[in-house]
Structure 1
Amino acid sequence: MTTDNGSASREPAARDSGGRRSGWLMARPYGIPIYVTPSWLVIAAIITILYEPVVESLLGLGAASYLVAFVFAVLLYASVLVHELAHAVVARMFGIPVERITLFMLGGVTEMRGEARTPGREFLIAFAGPLLSLVLAAAGWAAQLFVPPDTVPGVLLWQLFVANLLVGVFNLMPGLPLDGGKVVRSAVWALTRRPTAGTVVAAWGGRVLAVFVVGLPFLLYLPSGRMPSVFMVLLGVLLGGFMWMGAGSALRGARFRERIPRLRVRLLARRAVAVPSGTPLAEADRRMAEADAGAVLVTDSSGAPVSIVSHDAAGAVPEERRPWISVDHVSRAVTGGAVIGADLEGERLLAAMRAHPAAEYLVVGEDGGVFGVLRTRDVDDAFAGI
């Protein structure tokens, strides 16, 4: 399964955004790092065990049947890798940086920094993977016609055909996070000129497909009156759960992006009251309430702001100690990165905050004068409920 979408290296294993290990670096084709997670070993073992009886019935190799069955597992994930590389190469053609490709138990994912700017590019990036998979499937099918089916080369070519056909057809299912869902999203985007509308339609398509995948093992066995195997039920639940979570993530991402243009520093910034260095916290509270302000700036002897009283640090001071605690003890210095313009909005605002993370920012107007204070928490609250 895909989303967005050499020799082993001794480079340290990759880590995800939370700092957790995400796989072993295996190669860098086209400069794109390829990682394989330990979960792949689990699914490879399962595929080998389940497919070995088929190989044995065709070739009668004895214990060597396990090796041929394992090759099928490798070919399946090699097909996923080629599929993901197709996404990555086309994305790079359109100037979208590719971070990495990761292969895991349920397939692969291509991590990109950025998104397609037009529905046409979205379609080409999404369709490139399934298209290449189907081309390789056709090549494998044509090649196996010229090789006896009861030989190792014949079985391997058949495996190549089946692996790429599975990857290509499955990923064309019309729902996110699959490539077919991205094709649907690009079509709705082109018709409505609203990428969010495309995401909503494709994500709900993905949720419908997720329910179908979970119920598919039972539907297949319904005519016979028998129950599906535990493995088929678990596989359906795993795939369906992955698809449901991927579709939900796409919906949240769409809602997030829809709110970004509404972010405006002038609307989010709090009015600030200035107090001299050394002012007791209780006195700062009084002045802030009197001015109906939402933040406190600490100034030097010339009246220039040098620090911002931390909302969290000040809130942790007990009421009885506030007359005796100076604002200097609960404030953060105003550095160059913690000063932003009042005209920032949308992506520009988020980019400025990502470049210099801080709990509070000093907001200045076009004339350089103090406009107020922006709290990161207020920006986060703008995305509440997503």
Structure 2
Amino acid sequence: MAEPAGPGRREGIPLGRIAGVPVVLAYSWFVIAAFTVIAYGPVLARNNPALGASAYLVAFAYAVLLLISVLVHELAHALTAKIYGWPTQKIVLNLWGGHTQFESFTASPGRSVLVALAGPAANFVLAGGAWLVLATFSLGSVAEILTNIFMWANFLIGIFNVLPGLPLDGGRLVESVVWKATGSQAKGTVAAGWGGRIIVLAIAAWFILRPLVAGDEPDLSLLMITVLVGSFLWMGASAAIQQGKLRERLPLVSAAALSTPAAGLSATGTVQDALALGGTEGVSVVVCGPDGRPQGVVDPGALASVPGSAAASTPVTAVSFPLAPGAYVPEWSKGQELIQFLSQLEGRHYAVVDHNGRVTGLLTQDAVLAAMTRKRPPNDRYPQGQNR
């Protein structure tokens, strides 16, 4: 899945909504459209001399038909997901075909397979419909060319997408089988990612190595397509493997387990009160507002710099930095729930509270990232000294 477009940056041209799902035509689609015209136009002109220069218009129509085929494919994903209550954020049509971007949802092996295979099934239906048209009606030359192209394009899109490896739809079948057998979606995702890498190697062997071994020179257009498609699949498969490995580590992400000891102190308190709570002895001091909610964290360095004679008269807010609004989590939060919640917050520090709202710990973004990546967090308690 691609990341949402950054603020102020348009991902492409909005095409409106279909069944309530926003559809966006990415600017990169025009690259593949131009490539189709340049590569396929001369072939059409050579095989159909009567077309003349209009062969390039037919080639562009071919690119549009491919776009429609991909749109139907992605709509099948979105509409099937809608049956299970999975919210669809948008459909993006781009250089690589397209993708359906979902919001957060709870999946199961069976439902994941049905949503994934709905796309190729839609393409097979389109291919069958085109075949019936060709078999039933006598079309003009251009219409027959485009209908024939439409039929084979959808058939090949369907076949290609059921190959057993991510990021292809067939990879979800592999993922679900392993998921069902092991009880771990993460292991299924990793297995399907490796399936995708094997598919790339098989494609390269068939379209590049096989002609070379036979003493033939690979067709340049076919070689370019193989390299582009192989690169895309390899990146997607590698991303799936990485995602699976990260998902395996989700159980390690726990607010209670990753936080350091902390105590709450009213914003009306003083430096002397913070010192009494152990603010310079490994216990973080979280400043709480009148409503009892965490609103800041005492900086140990600033706390230690206050002279003893001024400790009782210096407000604790003078040696603390603010927490982002709402930057506190229940101590029982863990896994995907915790990750999703923290991703919506600003800042790098989060107070941890118990069932009574009492501060029990301080969680840092570095500690969470370390648990996810298995890298040691920085040694200092407050990186860069601020909650940025």
TM-score (norm 1): 0.82
Distance (Å, rounded) in 1 between the aligned partners of 2:296 and 2:38: 65
Distance (Å, rounded) in 2 between the aligned partners of 1:15 and 1:368: 34
Question: In the alignment, what sits opposite 1:246?
Answer: 236
Give matches, 1:185-204, under 5 Å: 185-204=175-194
| Residue 374 to residue 146, structure 1, CA distance change in 2 (3 Å) | same
Give matches, 1:140-289, under 5 Å: 140-148=130-138, 151-219=141-209, 221-222=211-212, 225-272=215-262, 279=271, 288-289=279-280
Q: Alignment partner for residue 133 of structure 1, among 98, 123, 130?
A: 123
Distance (Å, rounded) in 1 between the aligned partners of 2:207 and 2:319: 60
Q: CA deviation at 1:370?
A: 2.8
2:44 is the counterpart of 1:49: no
Question: Counterpart of 1:62 in 2: which secondary structure?
Answer: helix
| Residue 142 to residue 269, structure 1, CA distance change in 2 (3 Å) | same
2:15 is the counterpart of 1:26: yes
Question: Counterpart of 2:99 in 1: which secondary structure?
Answer: strand
| Percent of residue pairs bearing the same amino acid type | 35
CA deviation vs aligned residue, 1:127-158 (integer Å, no higher than 9, x gap): 11101101111221222134457711211110
Question: In the alignment, what sits opposite 1:353?
Answer: 342
Question: Counterpart of 1:28 in 2: which secondary structure?
Answer: strand
Distance (Å, rounded) in 1 between the aligned partners of 2:181 and 2:294: 51
Question: In the alignment, what sits opposite 2:103?
Answer: 113
Q: CA deviation at 1:99?
A: 0.7
Structure 2: which 5+ runs fail to align? 376-388
TM-score (norm 2): 0.82
Distance (Å, rounded) in 2 between the aligned partners of 1:216 and 1:149: 36
Distance (Å, rounded) in 2 between the aligned partners of 1:89 and 1:299: 47
Q: Alignment partner for residue 296 of structure 1, among 285, 292, 304?
A: 285
Q: CA deviation at 1:323?
A: 5.4
Question: Counterpart of 1:69 in 2: which secondary structure?
Answer: helix
CA deviation vs aligned residue, 1:253-304 (integer Å, no higher than 9, x gap): 2222222233222211211367886649xx96x9545x333x3335799x99
Q: CA deviation at 1:101?
A: 0.8
**What residue identity is the alignment partner of 1:132?**
A
Most deviating of 350-359 and 79-88: 350-359
Question: In the alignment, what sits opposite 1:37?
Answer: 26
Q: CA deviation at 1:53?
A: 3.0
Question: Counterpart of 1:96 in 2: which secondary structure?
Answer: coil
Question: Counterpart of 1:226 in 2: which secondary structure?
Answer: coil
Distance (Å, rounded) in 2 between the aligned partners of 1:116 and 1:345: 16
Q: CA deviation at 1:191?
A: 2.9
CA RMSD of aligned residues (A): 3.4
Count of matched residue pairs? 364
Q: CA deviation at 1:181?
A: 0.7
Distance (Å, rounded) in 2 between the aligned partners of 1:354 and 1:81: 30
Question: In the alignment, what sits opposite 1:364?
Answer: 353
Question: In the alignment, what sits opposite 1:83?
Answer: 73
Question: Counterpart of 2:373 in 1: which secondary structure?
Answer: coil
Question: In the alignment, what sits opposite 1:8?
Answer: none
Structure 1: which 5+ runs fail to align? 6-13
Q: CA deviation at 1:224?
A: 5.1
Question: In the alignment, what sits opposite 1:344?
Answer: 333
| Residue 348 to residue 172, structure 1, CA distance change in 2 (3 Å) | closer
